[in-house]
Amino acid sequence: MSKLDTWIDNKIIQNVFIWFFLFLILLSVIQAENRVSSSLLIILLLAPSVYVNNLFILPFFAKNRIVFFLLFILNVLLFTIIAVFLITVVTNQPFKGNMFINFLGVMVLALIFASTIKIARDSFTRRQQEKEAELKLLKAQLNPHFLFNTLNNLYGLSVTKSDKLPSLMLKLSDLLRYSLYETKEAMVSLEKEIHYMENYMELEKIRLEDQTEIVFENKVNDITKRIAPMMLIVFVENAFKHLSVSGNKKNRVFVSIENDRSQLFFKCVNTFDSDTFQIEDTIEKGKSGIGLLNVKKRLSLIYPEKHTLEIQREKNEYCVSLSIYV
C-alpha cells in the first residue's frame, strides 16, 4: 500500500477533510462580517450531533428503522435547541423562531449528508473485507497435507488391490470438484456442504483407521437451505488436525448438524492431548486450512448478528458450537 493510499484510508484525515470542505461551503454562503468565526461556530455546534448519529444512532438503521427514526429526530431536536441557546448567549441576540427553524434545517441536512457518507464508506469497507475473505478461502480451499496423506493412503490401497479403492477415489474426486468449483457461488445448499463433510471424514478414516472413533450425525430435515460454502468444514479440519498423537488412548471426533425452520445447529467435538499441545495457540493462527480467525471474519461479514459461535475447552476435549440463521 502506497503512502497516498494510507492517507486516504486514514479515518481522521477523512473527517478533517470533510469538515474543512463544509467550512469552505459555509464561508462562501454566510453573509455576516465575521464569516470565519461564524463558520467555525456552526461546525462546532454540528459536530457533536453528527458523531452521536454516526456512532450510536446509525447502527439502528439496519436493526430497527422505527427506533432509528425516533432517535434521529430526538438527536436533531436536542442538539438544535442546545445550538440555538448557545448562539443567543454568544451573540447576545434575542431568541427568534426563524433562527430555530433555519438551524434545524441545517442540522437535518448535515446529518443526512454525514449518514450518507458513513453508509457509503462502510459499504465499501465491507465489500473490500468480503473480497479479502474470499481470496483467503480460494487460497486455502483444500488442506495440502490432507491431500498428500490421502493420496499416499490411496496408493497403499492400490498396492494391496483393496476393494475400497474405487469408492474412495470417487469421494476424493467429489471433494476436489466441490472445493474448486462449487465454492465460487456465494451460497450453496446444505446438501452439498454436508456431502463434502461426509467425503472428507470418510477419507480421514483411511488415515486414522482404528486409532480414532469418528461419528457424524446428520439430522437436517431441509437440505435445500443455503449456507456460505466451506464454512463448517474448517472446524472439522481442525478437529482432525489437532488429535492427540501420543497413542496412549483412542481419539474421538464427533460432528453433528441439524436445523429447524430458521436456524442451523452445528457441533464439532474432538479429543486432544493437553499435556503436549496448546490448541488455542495453533488453531487461532490458522497454520493450515482457512483458520479460525478467517472463519470468524467470514461469519461476521456474511451473517452479522445472525450467528452464535461458542468454543469451549474441557479437560481433553475441544468443542465448537455454531448456530446460524439461514
Domains in the chain: boundaries = 3-136, 142-325
Q: Is the pTM of this model over 0.85?
A: no
Q: What is the mean pLDDT of residues 197-220?
A: 87
**281 pLDDT tier (thresholds 50, 70, 90):** very low
**For residues 48-77, average pLDDT:** 93
Q: Which residues are CB-contacts of 76 (< 8 A; sequence separation ≥ 6)?
A: 49, 104, 107, 108, 111
Contacts of 216 (CB under 8 A, 6+ apart): 197, 198, 201, 255, 256
pLDDT in tens, 136-188: 665 555 556 566 767 777 777 787 777 778 888 888 888 888 877 777 777 89
Q: Which CA distances in Å does 270 have to 38, 57, 237, 239, 278?
A: 66, 43, 11, 5, 14
**CATH code linked to domain 142-325:** 3.30.565.10
**Residue 250 backbone zone (phi > 0: left; psi -120 to 50: alpha; other: beta):** beta
Residue 171 exposed, middle or buried by CB count within 10 Å (0-12, 13-18, 19+): buried
pLDDT in tens, 165-178: 888 888 888 888 88
**Cell (9 digits) for 37:** 468565526
**Which sign does the torsion angle of CA 300, 303, 308, 312 carry?**
negative
In whole angstroms, give the CA distance from residue 142 to residue 176. 8
Which grid coordinates belong to 277?
Answer: 499441545
Across 10-35, average pLDDT? 83
**Higher pLDDT among residues 193 and 210, named by residue:** 193
Judged against a pLDDT cut of 50, whether residue 279 lies above it is answered with: no
Contacts of 115 (CB under 8 A, 6+ apart): 53, 54, 58, 61
List the one residue out of 254, 186, 187 whose CA is nearest residue 218.
Answer: 254
